[in-house]
Structure 1
Amino acid sequence: MSELIVTVRGTSESRIAPERATVRVAAETDGGDRAAVIADVHRAVEPLRASLADLQARGAVETWSNPRVSIWAERPWNDAGAQLEPVHHASLVLTAVFADLEAVSGWLDDVSAGPSVRIDGIDWHLTPTTARRLERETAAAAVGDAVERATAHAGAIGRTKLEPLDVADAGLLSPAPEPAAERAALKGMMMDAAGSPGFAVTPADVVVTAAVDARFRAS
């Protein structure tokens, strides 16, 4: 019986509820006086800092920081085509990692009531320990899928024994490499459409995918 080489790709996908939410909130102000604008943005952000410090003390927030400050100016034009005096802008972004996902909606509802506050986005994700475990499990499941595919292919032509020759991340056994695995922390907020004065945030599942290429000798 001639030698038969079976090459397959195994894939796997896992979905799991997020364990953490990284929330970004910005305080923004503008005006004609640069010093006043900077002072205003710091006043606007103080209640946000105080509330995050309180949530951290209670264990709802894991960490928080204000990693980005932006100050810029522009000279707008009026309808007559004349350039006006400079308008100064200031923005200060706070980032908080929530361990208590149920606290996210209430906090965003509270802080977004401020006239100078903008919700900049939410990322749903896992703790590093869970992410590593899930990646390992998903990769192992992808290998198992490859074995099942190869067994089915070989069995269809009467070969019953498989000897593994190569197993690699997807693309490494072919001329066109592609990512072996990716984790997508899905982003977004679902606003409460029931007409309430606030809004609800619905966590999106974290999706982990893995793919492997494998070669077997079938006999």
Structure 2
Amino acid sequence: MATEFTVRGSYSAFQRPERGTVHVKLSFEGPQPKPVYDRVVADLETVQTSVKALHDPSQGPVTWWSTTHVRTWAQRPWNQDGKQLPLVHHASVGVEVKFRDFVALGRWVSQHVSSTRGFSVDGVVWALTESNRQDLERSVRTRAVQDAARRAQEYAEALGLGPVRPVAIADAGMLGEGLHPAGGGGGAPFARMAAAKDSGGAELELSPEDIEVSSQVDARFVVG
């Protein structure tokens, strides 16, 4: 009679990020709509000019960038005494810039933080290149399968049985009917600019964490 083992294998790998996409917001507010809008548009032009000077899809330091449409709105705030204040007009636009050179990223952010009023950084998303991520994912999945096989064999040896033979393998959580994958993909982490070092007007120094890529698999083995 065959003895069956169902196990879960896992593996994680870490690699230094190769790209950093900085998420920027340009915003302004004031009592009149046109000056507010014009100020954001002028700031956007300044930022776009600086990005274009760095943009080179193959060599960098900027490999890709994009902007959203300028958004405008107005609201009438209240003061602490419950009195409604005059109308305040707002305008904002988002900019995303992908860097392959992190020194250049820090220099670019420092430049605009000190010189572009309304410039703020929402954060930086660190990532690998698509090609290297796929290679790493392939390696991690292989190691996860090997981990599952090792676990099953250890169970078999603990029972005094022989070599195990695989009969099924699936993403974690998929070996039962109606089940769904349990996850395990290592997404690019979101690192706030608090991970940077800034000392009295010096250029921003970024300290991104390693990218984690992980995989989990469920497998069924038999002996006999």
Q: TM-score range by the shorter chain?
A: over 0.9
Which of 196, 210, 215 is the equivalent residue of 2:215?
210
Aligned pair partner of 1:146 in 145, 148, 170: 148
CA distance in 2, matches of 1:97, 1:164: 44
Output the amino acid matched with 2:197.
D
2:129 counterpart of 1:120: no
Mapped to 1, the partners of 2:216 and 2:148 lie a distance apart of 9
Is 2:184 the counterpart of 1:185? no
- Establish whether residue 29 from structure 1 lines up as the match of residue 28 from structure 2: yes
Matched residue, 2:173: 171
Structure 1 residue 180, shift from structure 2 partner: 4.0
Distance in 2 separating the partners of 1:169 and 1:4: 22
Alignment match, 2:15: 16
Equivalent pairs: percent with the same residue?
33
* CA offset digits 1:64-111 (Å, max 9, x no partner): 110253211110123443322210111111111112222111111111
Unaligned residue ranges in structure 1 (runs of 5+): none
Q: Which runs of 5+ in 2 are unaligned?
A: none
State which drifts further: 73-82 or 42-51.
73-82
> Are the structure 2 counterparts of residues 24 and 174 from structure 1 closer, same or farther at C-alpha, using a change threshold of 3 Å?
same
- When the two structures are aligned, how many residues end up with a matched partner? 217
CA deviations 1:147-180 (Å, max 9, x no partner) are: 1101111011111221111001100114653434
1:6-53 CA distance string (max 9 Å, x none): 111000001111111111111111011111110010112222111100
Rounded to whole Å, the distance in 2 between the matches of 1:180 and 1:87 is 45
Q: Which amino acid aligns with 2:35?
A: A
Alpha-carbon RMSD:
1.7
SS of structure 2 residue aligned to 1:95: strand
* TM-score (norm: length of structure 2): 0.90
- Answer whether contact 1:27 1:41 (CA < 8 A) is retained: yes
